[in-house]
Amino acid sequence: MRAHSQSVVRSAARIVVKVGSSSISGANAGQIAVLVDALAETHMRGAEVVLVSSGAIAIGMPYLNLDERPTDLATQQAAASVGQNLLVFRYQDSLDRYDIVAGQVLLTAHDLENPAHRGNAQRAMERLLGLRIMPIVNENDTVATHEIRFGDNDRLAALVATLIQADLLVLLSDVDALYTRPPHLPGAERIVHVDAGDPLPGMVFSAAGPSGVGTGGASTKVTAARIAAAAGTAVLVTSTGLVAEALRGERVGTWFEPSPTTRGHTMSWPDGSTGVLK
């Protein structure tokens, strides 16, 4: 991260943080407290914080006696129904240490593709933030279908960041940054800074993580980062274990420079409709 990037993080007034299933479930369930510590620190310095959290299906799986992520839609929906309740409870239980109240927001792809639904979601999020409540956003897996779902919450986080005109989007995973190829391969080099519009030619990104409980990999983070950066939101990609350092503006992760001319211009949404970002 350059000095300019660090100052953007430290001065960001509205921040979206996305965390994946593998970072907060199973053996990593204890990382919820670490994540909440960092979010609370940022919240208490006056910033508005939105958390986009995967994990409902992964957390619900043990209660359905499942050893691996289900492949059929009905079982995914059942696991999500059980897990979403537990996921938000775990976050609220940890947030109670800081007297911060969480608000659950469940969205489907259709909600952000439909202008009326999108407007409702935007108003609800703005009101929650105005009340100093921390929205916890997830895909509504209980009603989403294979045809309309986001597919991963990286894209959802990018669209939420665009919806609320966030200054910063932080995409968290199990890896400390993006690399020119999967980091376990010889010759992999960390990518520190990505200029606005840089197509990153010659890079090889993995499509999914190794945990088996998540759906996103480095490629989904690059795609999401480009969506948000094109809409004027700066993006930082790093690991969940480095979230505190990331939100303090320390030199971690991979930085995506936002487009300098997007705010106040027209944004194209997935359904082909448009809206003005002010």
54 is in an annotated binding site: yes
Amino acid, res. 80 = A
| Cα(56)–Cα(75) distance, integer angstroms | 12
79's tokens = 């696991």
- Residue in 205, 104, 216 with CA at minimum distance from that of residue 151: 216
DSSP string, 140-167: -TTT--TTTS-SSHHHHHHHHHHHTT-S
| Cα(165)–Cα(253) distance, integer angstroms | 22
Distances (CA, A) of 119 to 25, 112, 123, 124, 159: 32, 8, 6, 9, 13
Buried b / exposed e over 186-221, threshold 16 CB at 10 Å, is eeeeebeebebeeeeeebebbeebebebbbbbbbbb
167 is in an annotated binding site: no
173 is in an annotated binding site: yes
174 is in an annotated binding site: yes
141 is in an annotated binding site: yes
| Cα(56)–Cα(142) distance, integer angstroms | 10
| Known binding-site positions for ATP | 18, 173-174
Name the binding residues.
Answer: 18, 54, 141, 153, 173-174
Question: Binding-site residues for substrate, please?
Answer: 54, 141, 153
